[in-house]
A = this chain, B = another copy of it.
Amino acid sequence: MVNGGAMSGSGNLMDFLDEPFPDVGTYEDFHTIDWLREKSRDTDRHRKITSKSKESIWEFIKSLLDAWSGWVVMLLIGLLAGTLAGVIDLAVDWMTDLKEGVCLSAFWYSHEQCCWTSNETTFEDRDKCPLWQKWSELLVNQSEGASAYILNYLMYILWALLFAFLAVSLVRVFAPYACGSGIPEIKTILSGFIIRGYLGKWTLLIKTVTLVLVVSSGLSLGKEGPLVHVACCCGNFFSSLFSKYSKNEGKRREVLSAAAAAGVSVAFGAPIGGVLFSLEEVSYYFPLKTLWRSFFAALVAAFTLRSINPFGNSRLVLFYVEYHTPWYMAELFPFILLGVFGGLWGTLFIRCNIAWCRRRKTTKLGKYPVLEVIVVTAITAIIAYPNPYTRQSTSELISELFNDCGALESSQLCDYINDPNMTRPVDDIPDRPAGIGVYTAMWQLALALVFKIVITIFTFGMKIPSGLFIPSMAVGAMAGRMVGIGVEQLAYHHHDWIIFRNWCRPGADCVTPGLYAMVGAAACLGGVTRMTVSLVVIMFELTGGLEYIVPLMAAAVTSKWVADAFGKEGIYEAHIHLNGYPFLDVKDEFTHRTLATDVMRPRRGEPPLSVLTQDSMTVEDVETLIKETDYNGFPVVVSRDSERLIGFAQRRELILAIKNARQRQEGIVSNSIMYFTEEPPELPANSPHPLKLRRILNLSPFTVTDHTPMETVVDIFRKLGLRQCLVTRSGRLLGIITKKDVLRHMAQMANQDPESIMFN
């Protein structure tokens, strides 16, 4: 818009400001970008390249390269994000096992790799091979007994503490932005906020390393959310290589949206779900071109990860499952119950976690982040080790809970009493009575569930990278599996009850407890994040069949409704509010009957709006105005009496223009008249040389009338991505509304303290 407006003034050759001067068009840290202006700048750039491309072959090739750079960036993001995800998976695998023991043939092998490469391994004893030694075997040559157990227990805690300490120290020292899941901040950045360094190279490096450390330490957190942050860092890095993206904050955000999709794509092996996640949950401005490119980046990332093959199963998917039996209508009831559980858990988690994080921010607690991490890690390790379901890594746990019990399954959860006469094929095992192992597992799962619920509340938000997807899914999967086993046993023992009679004859395989675990996981994830379509699609990509989409949808819908009844905010929005980021949510509906005049500044009783006049203020006047106020820009009017608006000048550009003019243009002194018109005003003969500033004047500022409903104003701010909007009545300038005014007003209307929500 600045450039567009300047065109008409470009006839004047004397106007040195027509040459761009450095730093024009950039933003300061913690400021909001102007989407319309960024778009306009990109179109200008594009026009320039197109017209130049006809001049020579070299320019034509350059224009082609420019047109293709978007795809190249996507390819690079996909490759790097996929590679990083693969490396993280492999490293986590190894380091998680390191807490238990070490491989004698090569210390960098994980337990599984160690026994794979060993020839002495039989299929039955996949987990046991002489090359893999527990710490007790290695150190005191004992594999059984109380002292061995205690030694292993201690080593487990020591490694966990070491990993956690390393992680928190690295984050503290090198990259404070590497902590948390990063999704709230990425949402804010994508909505147009500038947080320098949040997606920087150091953050990328440190987050990748510390992510491995914290996941291996056994803390109740996941790597999925932080992977989105890591992918966005990759996106930021590659977009800085191409001037098309590095010099335009709007275009850069298109790349970041696609990178977020790639992040989810590698986190779950769900490319379509990743794109929908980016669309539904993260992105702000998502043109269709971006949709297609995001999809490309997500696919490249997924295939890169698959060729690294960290799970050793040629699968894209973290928790690949195949179920063999359909579900029945009557099962919808427990599925909906799981949805209710998910919604309640979501509400509970958000409330408690936000309360704890607020406490951390406001009390002394926040001053000892390293100590906090150490204490939580110690507690986690101490409580987790004795219970097999908390000792193993959370994603293994989820995987075990999702899986259906095959005939060969050795898991405790599959300890059913077999009918000796059974001669069915492996895939079609009828429902059986539960054995002692299942009952033990139920108790252990119940304890693990309570532990997970409590510890996750305290873990999420510490100064380490921490994702929420996996713990939420684990909570849901444990609850779901228990409900599933309950329903299964009920159906087995009471198959004559009316509700079971129609679909569960004796000897039939009618209940799949693994499906309940999956439904529970979806419900809990939905309750915490309030994702809907993307959640169901991610789950659909995990199972790869439309069969189970109805149970998943029923649970996801119920969970969202239940959770929404207690509060509309998902965990990410709640953290955005807690941190006071200026985020204007597309999903919030503004339904109050206020008008622009109620929100604009100056309010009644406040001093009048600081404005510039088009041709009567001196350089000194303006410098004083800039010094005395901290507004980001000033409306320019014809004269103070008529108050007729002609344009808007940015503070930053005014300062730069005056500085430049004073240094480089002759005759500019403090009482030079500044003018924004095309022709200089008529001045007395001996007055100093005037300063023309039309170049920096935005001739098309956005205006609304004072009677415009705030609902419309909010809509305009959201859809056009404005920074500010001027308010007029019958052509007279009355006031200004900034994005922060809008946010403050929305908070006020929702009965929140408006001052609590501003970024500080």
Complex CA gap A634/B604 in Å reads 33
Complex CA gap A533/B276 in Å reads 11
Complex CA gap A716/B716 in Å reads 9
Complex CA gap A533/B295 in Å reads 7
Within 8 A of B (CB), among A490-539: 532-533, 536-537
Q: Are B715 and A720 in contact (CB under 8 A)?
A: yes
Q: How far is the CB of A595 from chain B (nearest CB, A)?
A: 7
Q: Are A705 and B699 in contact (CB under 8 A)?
A: yes
- Also in contact, A593 and B40, with CB within 8 A (given A272-B537, A302-B546, A730-B731): no
Given contacts A4-B593, A299-B550, A302-B546, 17 further A-B contacts (CB under 8 A): A4-B709, A7-B593, A43-B589, A43-B711, A47-B591, A271-B546, A280-B291, A303-B550, A316-B546, A544-B545, A638-B730, A644-B730, A647-B705, A700-B712, A703-B703, A719-B719, A720-B720
Interface flags for A720-743 (1: CB within 8 Å of B; 0: not) read 100000001011100000000000
Interface flags for A161-190 (1: CB within 8 Å of B; 0: not) read 000000000000000000000000000000
Report copies per complex: 2
- Also in contact, A709 and B1, with CB within 8 A (given A537-B272, A716-B720): yes
Complex interface: chain B residues within 8 A of A541 (CB): 546
Complex CA gap A36/B638 in Å reads 31
Q: How far is the CB of A435 from chain B (nearest CB, A)?
A: 35
Closest B residue to A273 by beta carbon equals B272
Complex interface: chain B residues within 8 A of A587 (CB): 288-289
Majority secondary structure of chain A interface residues (helix, strand, loop or mixed): helix
Q: Are A712 and B40 in contact (CB under 8 A)?
A: yes
Q: Are A536 and B295 in contact (CB under 8 A)?
A: yes
Kindly list the 4 A-B residue pairs having the minimum CB-CB distance in the complex, ordered from nearest.
Answer: A731-B731, A700-B708, A699-B707, A4-B709
Complex interface: chain B residues within 8 A of A704 (CB): 700
Interface flags for A629-663 (1: CB within 8 Å of B; 0: not) read 00000000010001011110000000000000000
Within 8 A of B (CB), among A576-625: 586-587, 589, 591, 593, 595-596
Closest B residue to A303 by beta carbon equals B550
Identify the A interface with B (CB < 8 A).
1, 4-5, 7-8, 36, 39-40, 43, 46-47, 50, 271-272, 275, 280, 287-289, 291-292, 295-296, 299, 302-303, 316, 532-533, 536-537, 540-541, 544-546, 549-550, 553, 557, 586-587, 589, 591, 593, 595-596, 638, 642, 644-647, 699-701, 703-705, 707-709, 711-712, 715-716, 719-720, 728, 730-732
Q: Are B36 and A4 in contact (CB under 8 A)?
A: no
11 intermolecular pairs with C-beta atoms under 8 Å apart: A4-B595, A8-B595, A40-B711, A272-B537, A296-B553, A299-B553, A316-B546, A541-B546, A596-B700, A647-B705, A700-B705
Complex interface: chain B residues within 8 A of A730 (CB): 638, 644-646, 731
Complex interface: chain B residues within 8 A of A586 (CB): 287-288
Complex interface: chain B residues within 8 A of A36 (CB): 712, 715
- Also in contact, A275 and B1, with CB within 8 A (given A36-B715, A730-B646): no
- Also in contact, A1 and B708, with CB within 8 A (given A540-B272, A703-B703): yes
Complex interface: chain B residues within 8 A of A46 (CB): 591
Partner of A707, one of B5, B549, B589: B5
Q: Are A1 and B700 in contact (CB under 8 A)?
A: no
Complex interface: chain B residues within 8 A of A5 (CB): 707, 709
Complex interface: chain B residues within 8 A of A544 (CB): 544-545
In this complex, the member of A1, A292, A731 whose beta carbon has the largest number of chain B beta carbons within 10 angstroms is A731
Q: How far is the CB of A458 from chain B (nearest CB, A)?
A: 32
Complex interface: chain B residues within 8 A of A591 (CB): 43, 46-47, 50
Complex CA gap A701/B707 in Å reads 9
